[in-house]
Amino acid sequence: MTALTNLLDLDPAQLVAYCAELGEKPFRAKQLQRWIHQFGASDFDAMTDLAKSLRDKLKTRATIAAPAAISDHTSADGTRKWLLDVGQGNAVETVFIPEENRGTLCVSTQAGCAVNCRFCSTGKQGFSRNLTVGEIIGQLWMAEFELRKSKGIEPGPKGERQITNVVMMGMGEPLLNFEPTVTALKLMLDDNAYGLSRRRVTVSTSGVVPMIDKLSQECPVALAVSLHASNDALRDGLVPLNKKYPLAELMAACRRYLDYAPRDFITFEYCMLDGVNDSDAHARELVSLVQNGAESVPCKFNLIPFNPFPESGLRRSNNARIKAFAQILMDAGVVTTIRKTRGDDIDAACGQLAGEVQDRTKVQERMQKMAEYQKKFGKDFGRIIEVPR
């Protein structure tokens, strides 16, 4: 018996091709796509406007399946976090953050992460594997329709949309899982699927320069860059990928991206680490980095209070320090926000996206994958380097 095709893995064009293989016209693919992504259907029998013969064919060859939820917690502030089983002892997280006029879903793109940033617990777990398209878009599919179900909102375009924004800020480095990430992005934007505007979908990257350029050509959406440092020596220690793509190259890539981006600024994320990257001098150095004559980068800063985890050996900057830091940026004309920490009580805050059920016996396999990445991106890839003060 051949394996069932998971229709969540297919982008709009692939679904048309799949339907053609079954002898069906392209408009059937559109209908099918709407059933899947607008009505959250997983049962072919529910797709009443498809011919019974087609439904029967689909039942024997295809499936619509997102990763299964291992846990589902809602925090006191309304943040809801699902831990999803992606097989072989790996789990990833999806977090829904409700706000007054919008609902944001934070999705994962990899199980673990090979970049190994000094302050990130995902990085500390090492890299397990890339998520498939179905596993990435499946997070949005599952979350949108679960949220509607909990609130008694009907599926379909008439029901009130729960997720209005998506940020790829969960586990993993999206630009190191490029093709599946882009396919999932295209589904998010497609009018016969989720129909989100490019401005409401954000890719967050630690700075994989060539892939930033590739994204600008293949699917320009809003871009957030995890900066975390104002100079190369400091950033080398916090984000090891900086050794491969240092700040000057990263800033140039950001400028190039803006020619294609749906927004006219880059969001810089900056994790506030007590005594490491949070002094007035660091703030001033950041201003010079982004306001540098012809090399300036139109940007907004998002300061993220560090979410501590036991092995990190790092501390969160205190609130007064974060405010003073923000003030220096703002006085220089840089729009700056301080991220509210949400979902603390359910470990859904940034960088705490943990694989609680991760199988430790997979370590060997992860080390091997890490070695492959080091071959590709240089020997320091994924290594912890002393943080210069």
Active site residues: 93, 350
Looking at the DSSP assignment, which residues form a beta bridge with residue 273?
316
Closest contact distance (angstroms) between CB of 114 and ligand SF4 is 7
Closest contact distance (angstroms) between CB of 60 and ligand SAH is 39
Position 387 contacts ligand SF4 (CB under 6 A): no
Position 269 contacts ligand SAH (CB under 6 A): yes
Q: Which is nearer to ligand SF4, 146 or 173 (CB)?
A: 173
Pick from 7, 8, 84, 120 the residue near ligand SAH by CB under 6 A.
120
Q: Which is nearer to ligand SAH, 38 or 121 (CB)?
A: 121
307 contact, one of ligand SAH, ligand SF4, none, CB 5-8 Å limit per kind? ligand SAH
Cα torsion through 370, 372, 376, 378, rounded to 10? 50
Pick from 205, 216, 277, 336 the residue near ligand SAH by CB under 6 A.
205
Total binding residues toward ligand SAH, as defined by CB under 6 A: 17
Q: Which is nearer to ligand SF4, 138 or 172 (CB)?
A: 172
Which residues lie below 8 Å from residue 6, measured CB to CB, with a gap of 6+? 62, 63, 64, 65, 134
Q: Which residue has its beta carbon closest to ligand SAH?
A: 351
d(CA 265, CA 259): 10
Residue 260: Cβ-neighbour burial (10 angstroms; 0-12, 13-18, 19+): middle
Element (DSSP H or E) covering residue 143:
helix 133-151
Looking at the DSSP assignment, which residues form a beta bridge with residue 268?
225, 301
116 contact, one of ligand SF4, ligand SAH, none, CB 5-8 Å limit per kind? ligand SF4
Position 16 contacts ligand SAH (CB under 6 A): no
Pick from 31, 38, 94, 122 the residue near ligand SF4 by CB under 6 A.
122
End-to-end CA distance of the chain: 60
**Which residue type is seen at 216?**
S
Position 194 contacts ligand SAH (CB under 6 A): no
Position 304 contacts ligand SF4 (CB under 6 A): no
Closest contact distance (angstroms) between CB of 322 and ligand SAH is 12
Q: Give the pair of three-digit tokens for residue 219.
A: 């699917």
Q: Give helix 280-290 / helix 247-258 axis angle, nearest 10°.
A: 50
Pick from 93, 173, 236, 278 the residue near ligand SF4 by CB under 6 A.
173
Q: Which whole-number Å values give the CA distances from 279 to 73, 164, 284, 287, in the listed order? A: 37, 36, 9, 13
Position 350 contacts ligand SAH (CB under 6 A): yes
Q: Which of 342, 335, 336, 231 is CA-nearest to residue 279?
A: 231
Pick from 12, 123, 138, 237 the residue near ligand SF4 by CB under 6 A.
123
Per-residue x/- marks for ligand SF4, 88-117, CB under 6 A? -------------------------x-xxx
In b/e form, how buried is each residue of 146-166, taking b as 16+ CB within 10 angstroms?
bbbeeeebebeeebebbbbbb
270 contact, one of ligand SAH, ligand SF4, none, CB 5-8 Å limit per kind? none
Do residues 266 and 212 lie in contact, with contact meaning Cβ atoms separated by under 8 Å?
A: no
Do residues 128 and 112 lie in contact, with contact meaning Cβ atoms separated by under 8 Å?
A: yes
Closest contact distance (angstroms) between CB of 12 and ligand SAH is 26
Q: Which residues are near ligand SF4 by CB under 6 A?
A: 113, 115-117, 120, 122-123, 172-173, 206, 226
